[in-house]
Amino acid sequence: MAPRRGKAAAALAKLALDGCKIALSGTFPGATHASIKAKAEALGATMASAVTDGVTHLVASETDYNKPSPKVSKAQSIGNIHIVSLEWLSLSEQNNAKEPEDDHLLGTPAKDAQSQTDDATKTSSSQANGTTTALTTGRTRKRAPPAAADGVSDSEAAPKAKKTRARKPAAVKTEEDEDVEMKDANGVADVETKEEKKEKVRVERAVGEGQVAKSKDMQVPLDEGCPFPTSKVYIDDAGVIYDASLNQTNASNNNNKFYRIQLLKDPSGIYRTWTRWGRVGEFGQTQVPATGSLDDAMKQFEKKFKDKSGLPWSQRGDKAKPGKYAFVEKSYDAESDEEDEAEDTAVKKEKGPPREPPKSTLLPAVQELVQLIFNKSNFDNTMAALKYDANKLPLGKLSKATITRGFQALKDLAAVIDDNSLAQDVYGKAFHAAVEDLSNSYYSVIPHAFGRNRPPVIANVDAVKREIELLESLSGMKDAALLMKMEKINDNPIHPLDSQYQALKMREMTPLDPASGEYSQLQNYLLESRGDTHGHQYTVESIFRIEREGEFGRFDDSVFGKMGQNRRLLWHGSRCTNFGGILSQGLRIAPPEAPVSGYMFGKGIYLADMASKSANYCCSYMSDNTALLLLCEAELGSPMQELVNASYTAGEDAKQKGMVSTWGKGRTGPSKWKDASCVHPSLAGVMMPDTSVKPGDTNVQGANLYYNEYICYDVSQVRLRYLLRVKM
């Protein structure tokens, strides 16, 4: 049974900007693209990442209009697109009615820059969450009937598509509070109607911003094996890169296939469409189905894309169609892997004797730490262990939008796993058929290396959690990989380790003297907070006192810095490969697209008072038995939300109660606490376990956890204090 729209979806027809399709160009003081998109979509508008014939409005900055930017030029060439200031959107929101465009057209004397700045500030009413797409209410669409799965042949014909009205092409994401049905703290499930259940399943469409070139001079790498080395990948006037990577996984048929399409321009003015397809991990077959004019090659490119994906090229960011290939957005930034190879080749061609490598100015312990954090072998081992196919989509080519789509696919899966009735109510299928389709969609977006083995169906919460771990690791490793490229991009005349350390933007990283009291106190905290069920054996190699740039100020200036009620020094563990991202950007909270069921007490920063609990997350076997552990100062507030059982809604529940953290109460914990000023004077007022007294039974009735967990729901609650390098 095809899903119907719920009442909430029907209500959208009455919104002020219903029928408007809006693109953005430029930067706006006091507002991010994410916040602007959220405002527009809340008024019923749909968003577009590129300017096409279906776009009705382009909201642009004065700077982009005056250049003009590629999007402005495209809108002007189309002719019937309103190019307006941000004031038009702000006043439409303020009056809950669409403002007349003529009063806000850019390039007219009545429009001054100051009013645009003021309205931009009004538009941004909340802190952006760091993503470039908006959080909105989506609509459930009818599912197309599954198409026959492609083989390795490129000859099958695609059915003729029915003419339809233009659909939303972009930027619809899932709101953080739009999670699947959850049980309350007493284990009682909320009762929902079938229509309400449908409203909880949201359709995510990644924007595809990475498919737009930042400049016309960008060099997009040719596909592997392309026999036209002098050709270039075509980029149109709006900056759209005509390079499509498609992937399809089907567990039942044991399919794990790719399809690559590029529109190429030869120096002589000849245009070609290049295609390559086959099983992931193999070279496959190739074809050049079109050679001649730009119009001919583009028609063939767009036809091939629609045949394989079921989507028009202009809507490539839409949700993948069942039984079709999924578009996998790539990153084309200068730090990508192919750029690395080009730079390496250029270096080899340089004349003259090689330069003597500069000496590092870092202390030996810091050098060794940086080497560990940016160890490429550890990256490769981690990706292989998590079954990620780095050959298909290397870290340097992995875009944030692709990771976001992966999270959303897992969220859809988790919703059905948590409430089996959604399989029939929303997808019109039996449970096993629905989760297989959703698993296929996820694998098509996030390529996995299964060899000739059948891709496993993701059919339970544990399998979802494993894939969440993969996506979180990919996000952290991508951040680290970017930092590793900085030395080459900037052509720094300093030692590579110094360059990578500078990219971390640490205000302090001081190795402690093993003979100091500070070192001794922290070592004891590690060694004496070991759970009986863990059996870890530690050797401390180094301890660093650390401070991230701006983090202490963020903490002090926040509401948490003024509480001073319940601060504790607690552990956090993660893979070594994640620390490039952790140190450069801080501990982060899972994005709204991630399934909440993958987190025991909701999405937050998880901390522990037993080091061995955090050490379990370090996966030291992937990094030569070396682990990195953080000690964090966290303001937990008073009182904390205290729970003895898992609750996926713990974060929202805590906020509703006016609490800022959750204490997952365990059976074993510290017997006594003490002031951490004994470690360092700056920690006065922060509590830590007194390890002179062994951890013991907490006597908490009904506790299902072995050990305590503390979950903070705002990144400003936590600041990093120490980093321990430990042999396990």
How many Å apart are CA 654 and CA 634, to the nearest integer?
16
- Per-residue pLDDT at 661 exceeds 80: yes
Q: What is the DSSP string of 379-421?
A: HHHHHHHTTB-TTTS-GGGB-HHHHHHHHHHHHHHHHHHH-TH
For 370-426, write each residue's pLDDT tens digit. Answer: 999 999 999 988 998 888 888 777 777 788 888 998 999 999 999 999 999 999 999
Which of these is catalytic: 209, 329, 633, 709? 709
Pairing type for strands 82-84 and 57-60 reads: parallel
Q: What is the DSSP string of 21-90?
A: EEEEES-BTTB-HHHHHHHHHHTT-EEESS--TT--EEEE-HHHHHTT-HHHHHHHHH---EEE-HHHHH
To the question of domain 197-334+384-467 being in CATH 3.40.50.1000, the answer is no
Closest Cα partner for 334 from 488, 211, 225?
Answer: 488
Show Cβ contacts of residue 494 under 8 Å, excluding neighbours closer than 6 positions.
Answer: 358, 361, 487, 502
Q: What share of the chain has pLDDT > 70, as a percent?
A: 79
Mean of the pLDDT values across residues 337-356? 48
Give the pLDDT score at 86. 92
Give the pLDDT score at 14. 59
Q: Which band of pLDDT confidence, cut at 50, 70 and 90, is reported for residue 568?
A: very high
Give the pLDDT score at 181. 31
Give the pLDDT score at 148. 34
Of these ranges, 69-83, 284-298, 544-558, the one predicted with the greatest mean pLDDT is: 544-558
Give the pLDDT score at 292. 86
Mean of the pLDDT values across residues 263-271? 93
How many Å apart are CA 615 and CA 619, to the nearest integer?
8
Class of domain 7-123: alpha beta
DSSP E strands in 80-213: the ranges are: 82-84
The tokens for 531 are 């759970």
How many Å apart are CA 69 and CA 116, to the nearest integer?
18
Show Cβ contacts of residue 128 under 8 Å, excluding neighbours closer than 6 positions.
Answer: 32, 34, 35
Q: What is the DSSP string of 675-712?
A: EGGGT-GGGTT-EEE-TTS--EE---TT--EEE-EEEE
Show Cβ contacts of residue 704 under 8 Å, excluding neighbours closer than 6 positions.
Answer: 644, 645, 646
Average pLDDT, the chain: 81
Pairing type for strands 718-727 and 626-635 reads: antiparallel
The tokens for 580 are 């490039």
Give the pLDDT score at 156. 37
Mean of the pLDDT values across residues 633-646? 96
In total, the chain counts a number of residues equal to 728
Secondary element (H or E) of residue 243:
strand 243-250
- Per-residue pLDDT at 231 exceeds 50: yes
Give the pLDDT score at 294. 93
Domain ranges of the chain: 7-123, 197-334+384-467, 505-727
709 catalytic per annotation: yes
Of these ranges, 49-63, 171-185, 581-595, the one predicted with the greatest mean pLDDT is: 581-595
For 121-149, write each residue's pLDDT tens digit. Answer: 333 333 333 333 333 333 333 333 333 33
φ, ψ for residue 675 (rounded to 5)? -75, 130
Q: Which band of pLDDT confidence, cut at 50, 70 and 90, is reported for residue 5?
A: very low
For 680-728, write each residue's pLDDT tens digit. Answer: 999 999 999 999 999 999 999 999 999 999 999 999 999 999 999 999 9
For 275-310, write each residue's pLDDT tens digit. Answer: 999 987 788 899 987 788 999 999 999 999 999 999
276 compared with 50, residue with greater pLDDT: 276
Give the pLDDT score at 492. 59
Q: What share of the chain has pLDDT > 90, as a percent?
A: 51
For 318-333, write each residue's pLDDT tens digit. Answer: 888 888 999 988 877 6
CATH number of 505-727: 3.90.228.10
For 15-33, write each residue's pLDDT tens digit. Answer: 889 889 999 998 887 778 8
For 429-472, write each residue's pLDDT tens digit. Answer: 999 999 999 999 999 889 888 877 888 999 999 999 999 999 99
Give the pLDDT score at 4. 39
438 compared with 49, residue with greater pLDDT: 438
